[in-house]
A and B are shown apart, each in its own frame.
Chain A
Amino acid sequence: AQRVTQPEKLLSVFKGAPVELKCNYSYSGSPELFWYVQYSRQRLQLLLRHISRESIKGFTADLNKGETSFHLKKPFAQEEDSAMYYCALGDTGFQKLVFGTGTRLLVSP
């Protein structure tokens, strides 16, 4: 069975501080992992996908198969980063996504 765990409900940091949002997964197959962001009362937007190894808005995430983790990092948080962040796992064949419970990031000035 697929499972995604985001252990922090809320992460509060000051502007300019480093940010790490944790994500661990459980899946017997080859995982496809994503980070989605949801700004206040808006639709979910794709932020990062592990297959692309990209950096978006200064965020990066590395898939660590040994630790079954896909943590989201940013070296210097900005106030506009305040949002809800969801880690998601795609099954084999990518027929569906399973989401974690989300972490709310609050960046204070």
Chain B
Amino acid sequence: NAGVTQTPKFQVLKTGQSMTLQCAQDMNHEYMSWYRQDPGMGLRLIHYSVGAGITDQGEVPNGYNVSRSTTEDFPLRLLSAAPSQTSVYFCASSPGTGVDGYTFGSGTRLTVV
């Protein structure tokens, strides 16, 4: 099992550019989430999904879009990158029970200049 795989690991964007951060899991988990990690602010939830075709907004959704067409994939799209979106982005998945918690990917470090 690869677990949760995120690509790319690093990315530099210019202000106004768009891009998609990829997230894939091979554990057949129903629940998937995207977080951003910023110094002093912990992890903040951007969007989450409880199954294919179902997504919802988290705490900081503005400037980001998601879709969930398959159980395995949960891409995060930045529509028009801004310097405030410079952050480390983590994807996570869960089978939906409290016992197992969420499994995290290794993160994407994004810099917007």
Contact = CB atoms under 8 A, between A and B. Distances in A.
- Mostly, the A contact residues are loop
Interface string B38-71: 0011111100101000001011000000000000
Given A34-B101, A96-B33, A9 B90 contact: no
B105 interface: yes
A22 B97 CA distance: 25
Given A43-B90, A49-B98, A96 B43 contact: no
Contacts, number: 61
B19 to A, nearest CB: 21
Contacts of A44: 43, 90, 92, 104
B73 to A, nearest CB: 18
A28 interface: no
B96 interface: yes
A63 to B, nearest CB: 12
Interface residues of B, number: 28
Interface string B96-113: 111101111111000000
Contacts of A42: 106
A26 to B, nearest CB: 15
A62 interface: no
B31 interface: yes
A45 to B, nearest CB: 8
Interface size class of A (residues with CB under 8 A): 20 to 34
Interface string A65-109: 000000000000000000000100010011111111110000000
Contact of A86 (B43, B56, B59, B105): B43
A9 B42 CA distance: 10
B105 A46 contact: no
Interface of B: 31, 33, 35, 40-45, 48, 50, 56, 58-59, 90, 92, 94, 96-99, 101-107
Interface of A: 6, 9, 32, 34, 36, 42-46, 49, 51-52, 86, 90, 93-102
29 contacts: A32-B98, A34-B101, A36-B101, A42-B106, A43-B90, A43-B105, A43-B107, A44-B43, A44-B90, A44-B92, A44-B104, A46-B101, A46-B103, A49-B98, A51-B99, A86-B43, A90-B98, A94-B94, A94-B98, A95-B31, A95-B48, A95-B56, A96-B31, A96-B33, A96-B45, A96-B58, A97-B33, A97-B102, A99-B42
